Structure 1
């Protein structure tokens, strides 16, 4: 497997680039005669089109294509829209409390790894939920396997025991990636995968009111009412188009607390101009800001993720979340 190259220009290189840029600007000024009408704009457009043409789209696959990965990992996943093989890693073994609430795994303890195949290599991305004691061992195992850690942070303001979330990223042969990841998972007490329940537990919330307030329909999953919302724009790492199922979505989760009350947790995915608008909208609605950070090292456009927390009436919380959603460029409902 091969981590992405992130070579920084030296001072000499930077100077040379500056000289080239200056020369190019000078060539387009003064009395220079363009040989083609609109030549300057046309060149820029052609360069942009060329870059777009060189972006690799994820390859369509089948469940059978991912069986070697499942066998190497010792866990099975779900193929999403034919491109992303996503393996859930929820921390059902932990009892985590925050501000008097016992957090269900589906609210904020749902780690995962996801694989996407491209023409030449397979991409691995994920978010591992680990205890503070597990973190050093997990870090060492990931680094030994050549799997990059691209973020390390918390999703909850106050928690017991202390839990960390670490994002991972690598490119290479899919089975090699899975084999490299397995020792890191073995350094945790993440339980073996279990089949989903035959029926979903009831959601003690006004889900119709929440849907109306957010302008979208949620999904019941293990007693949690969830929303996963993709961005409207294409996200890349500069070379590959990144499907939303790799983890590039706004996630909003409602955990019922009884009497139509809920705890909400999740994160907004934003570009830089959207960040302050989202923070202001959440605070106006009385929703706490937990973390603001990046999940990746090379995403384009540069994305920021803002985690939040609040408890209260479910519909009231949904109404408070709506202006923050509207402040971001999300895909249509």
Structure 2
């Protein structure tokens, strides 16, 4: 029977690293030396509630799809989130890898005592092809951070953060106020990409722990717009769906000219059971926003 981090969490037990001994610490979250975690991962996190989320964007890659150069914030933004849980820290993450990097990184993750919860594509026809590895774990946050860094060292993921540019990014060439109105939620600019995170109405639980804030933990529907000129945008992201919502959303997206590019799970033991549907289109931004809103209306998502 598969060894599951989350069932061990419910018992307050330790996950054993392969040949490396336990990585779980009884230290409480408030005793964590987060500066050491930052130093190990080579970057500062964004902080939301009790979650510290570290970004690992693939700024080293030049990925194109249907003639569009994919910005890291559109579809190449790997991340790992740390959240206090059960006397230690739980992590969840989504790492962006090339095909040749998947198995070396996976081997190091397993050796470091982490679990792999999914490996899949998000996009179709992209060059070079990118794959997405979801990881999970529980234990001492510094040891978890070391395991993540050691694994990513077997890829070309940048492990140091470049200095911030002295000039601000260009303004987003879209009617963002109208996008906000159509999607009924306030978006945020991230570089040259305009992003939305739409939470579900139902709480999401893993290992007896509420996965909140949902955006920081990767369980909110994500919708990203990257301007492509003349009011058009490339859109991608993923819908967070219950089983009965999957096919209504597929039909709605396709009816609005939005391609469904992947359907899969990201976690192993969440409640309710969730599916993640990725999509792609490059068309008039307002038209696409209306199609995405129609798809959201088929789900139990919040609407402000």
Where on the TM-score scale, by shorter chain, does this alignment land: which range? 0.7 to 0.9
Aligned to 2:36: 68
Aligned to 1:279: 250
**TM-score scaled by length of structure 1:** 0.79
Aligned mate of 1:253, from 224, 227, 232 = 224
Within the alignment, does 1:318 sit opposite 2:301 as a pair?
no
SS for the counterpart of 2:126 is coil
5 Å-filtered alignment, 1:21-170, equals 65-81=33-49, 83-170=50-137
Aligned to 2:206: 237
Decide whether aligned partners of structure 1 residues 170 and 176 sit closer, same or farther in structure 2, where only a CA change above 3 A counts: same
Aligned to 1:40: none
Higher relative helix content = 1
For residues 195-246 of structure 1, give each alpha carbon's deviation from its aligned partner in whole angstroms, at most 9, with x where no partner exists: 5556342111111221222112211111001101111111111421111111
Q: Count matched residues.
A: 279
Contact 2:6 2:269 (8 Å CA) reproduced = no
Decide whether aligned partners of structure 1 residues 332 and 195 sit closer, same or farther in structure 2, where only a CA change above 3 A counts: farther
Gap regions ≥5 residues in structure 2: 9-27
Contact 1:228 1:251 (8 Å CA) reproduced = yes
Higher relative strand content = 2
SS for the counterpart of 2:238 is strand
Aligned to 2:12: none
Gap regions ≥5 residues in structure 1: 8-58
Aligned mate of 2:197, from 221, 225, 228 = 228
Within the alignment, does 1:219 sit opposite 2:220 as a pair?
no
Contact 1:277 1:327 (8 Å CA) reproduced = yes
- The structure with the larger Rg is 1
SS for the counterpart of 2:5 is coil
**TM-score scaled by length of structure 2:** 0.87
**TM-align CA RMSD:** 2.0
